[in-house]
Structures are given as structure tokens and as C-alpha cells.
Amino acid sequence: MEILHPRPSAIAAAMYTLRDLGADAIVLNGPPGCNFRTSRILEEDGVRVFTTAMLEYDFIFGGKEKLIEVLKKIDKMFSFKLIGVVGTCASMIIGEDISSAIDSAGLKADVIVVETHAGFGDNTQGAIQTLRAALERGMIDEVEFERQKTVLERATEIEKKSGMASMEYIPPSRGDDKEEVAREIRGWMEEGEGIFVILNAKKELGYIFSDILLAINEIGRKYGSEIINIANLDPEIGLPRVRRYSQNILRDLREKGVKIHHISGGIDEYSSAGEKVVEIAENYDIKRAVIIGNPHAVPLEIERRIGVTNGPREVEPLKRMGFNRVVVELDAHSLVVGVDEIVRSEFGEILRKIGGCEEGIFV
């Protein structure tokens, strides 16, 4: 099936994975504007991003000398321990020999090379290529590589089945009215209904999606509602940076008196944690659920389901899956760069307002 709407690229996935591997800097061997937004986000997250700024001349005659020059310059200007060099469509199409350029540069810093481009149909290929390069350099072991590869391949399957790649064209949508959805959740509590609150977040997005879990628990405390919290926050799974996300979120929830009743997996395992959620839910007689982060990866069939996502193009697929309501937390990515604690979300604030808990339990 041909997908007509824009989708994430393998280059961006490679860059995010290099960040998670601890790269201090990333050099994009390509045009100056390649992956500009991703670069800006990563710089706010503490990773320096550089470009070889390839132009038309370089597309014809090659950009090896430019890459050597840029690598030497940043090696002299900074004291980076690990630099990731990422290929782009331009350098890969002309067959640029990136490894040879790095050998010629004679750098003090350690370098990991990811020869990828945006021509892969699945963005997860960029992450897998990066992890394979990390495996070859001894940065991760075979067990971790295979776990990550399985999770990423599963994410691709789910995306094609019920996510952004499930339809030829998906119009972007802001989802349902947040105040109306908040009133529905409050209504469940007023009626004494039990609620599953399921956090199935992806990496750093857990910092904002967990605020919604927190807000629902604040309201539940006020109404004395039975709330069962399930979250993919296993602090022992994933790369060191990814484990810290879970550790920090669990710390903040614990400080606010919120208990996670069941752990469904690691915060990089959102694509497989949904199956564990279904197993857990079988032990309860609860017919209401709020599924936050990546709802399309949680195949829980229940009487009333509310999904919370950050993707405007996830709304229609979620409705087709049977979600009664879908909320879009539009600015999620921009609010979680460079943070190490739970941050307030738009929907969380609306929930507190509607539920009469505007001060929350942060104070």
C-alpha cells in the first residue's frame, strides 16, 4: 500500500538512537536542511548536531573532503567522547565512503557510523542500523541488540496494522474536545466505576504522558474511585538513558503517592507491552480504560476506551479500532526535551480543572 501522508524517516530514528547510546554529537553528512527539526530538538536535549552542508557540487563530485574538514574542526573545537556520523539520502545515493573519511580525519573522539537514508519504508530501520553499528563496536551485547530489534520490528507491524501506516491517507485531526472527555472521566468516578489507567509511552514522551496518569489519580483520590495503574516503566530494561526515564518517572509518581500496580514492560517496549496489559486486565472486572501514549499498541477490548496520543494522524485509526474518544496532546515532543522529571500536560491540566483538583498534588 502506498502511503501518501508524511511519515518519520530512518535518519531521524538513527539520530534519536545515537542520543540514547550516549553520543555527545552527531554529524549529518548531507545538505544543510536535512532533518532540521530533529536536529533542533536533539540540541535542546543536550546533543550537538552538525552538518557537512553538502551542495549541488558535492552531489556530483562527492563530499568526502567536506566531511573530513567538519570532523577535524569539531574535534579541535570540542572535547566530545562519542560522535555519531549519519549518512543521508544525498551521501548514500552517491556512495560516499564515510568510514574512509573518518580514518583520514584522525580524530581523538570515538566515532560510530550509521549509513542510512530516508528511502527505507520504515523509520525503525534507521534505529536498527544504529544498534547494529553499536553492537559491532561493542557498545551493546547481542542479547540487547536482539531485544531491541524484536521490539522495533514489532513496532513496524503495529504501525502498519493500526497506526500511521495503516491507511493510504490519514487526515490530521485534533481529536475530541478535551473538556468533554475530562467530564466523561469524572463521570465514571462519580458513578463509582473502576478505571484502568494504562501508560504505554515511548521513551522521553513518558515525562508528559505520565502527567495524565497522575491527574486521573488525583481526581480518583478525591472521589474514592478504584484505579488500577498499569505502565511500561520497568527501570531495569533498555539503554542507560532510557532506563533513567523510567526511574525518574517512578520516582516522581512515588513522591506524589501514586502506585503503579502492574509493570507491563520497559519504556522502549511500547510495541509489545500492550499484550501484557491484556493479560493483566483479565484479572479484573473493570470496563473503563484510559490508554495513554501509544493506544494503538494496546489490543484491549473493553466497554469504554479513551485513547491519548500525540499524533494527529493517529486519531482516525484509533477510532477504527473502537476507541470511543481520542485526545491529542499536540505539543508533547517539544515539552519533553532536556527534562528529567514529569512535566505538566494540557490534558492533565484540563482534567484537574474539571475534576476540581486544580492544585493537584504537586504542592
Handedness of CA 146, 41, 99, 72 (dihedral sign): negative
Please say if the pLDDT value at position 119 is more than 90: no
CB atoms within 10 A of CB 192: 10
β partners of residue 84: 26, 112
Q: Which domains does the chain have, with CATH numbers?
A: 10-162 (3.40.50.1980), 178-355 (3.40.50.720)
- What are the tens digits of pLDDT across the range 276-286? 999 999 999 99
Amino acid at 57: Y
Model pTM greater than 0.85? yes
In this prediction, residue 361 has a pLDDT band, given cuts at 50, 70 and 90, of very low
Count how many Cα atoms sit within 13 Å of the Cα of residue 334 in the half-sphere of its side chain. 5
- What are the tens digits of pLDDT across the range 262-305? 999 999 999 999 999 999 999 999 999 999 999 999 999 999 99
Classified as helix, coil or strand, 283 is: coil
In this prediction, residue 359 has a pLDDT band, given cuts at 50, 70 and 90, of low
Please say if the pLDDT value at position 151 is more than 70: yes
- What are the tens digits of pLDDT across the range 2-16? 788 888 899 999 999
Please say if the pLDDT value at position 325 is more than 90: yes
Burial classification of residue 191, based on how many CB atoms lie within 10 Å of its CB (0-12 exposed, 13-18 middle, 19 or more buried): exposed
| Cell matching residue 158 | 503495529
HEC string for 183-252: HHHHHHHHCCCCEEEEEECCHHHHHHHHHHHHHHHHHHHHHCCCEEEEECCCCCCCCHHHHHHHHHHHHH
CB 202 within 8 A of CB 314: no
- What are the tens digits of pLDDT across the range 207-263? 999 999 999 999 999 999 999 999 999 999 999 999 999 999 999 999 999 999 999
DSSP 109: S
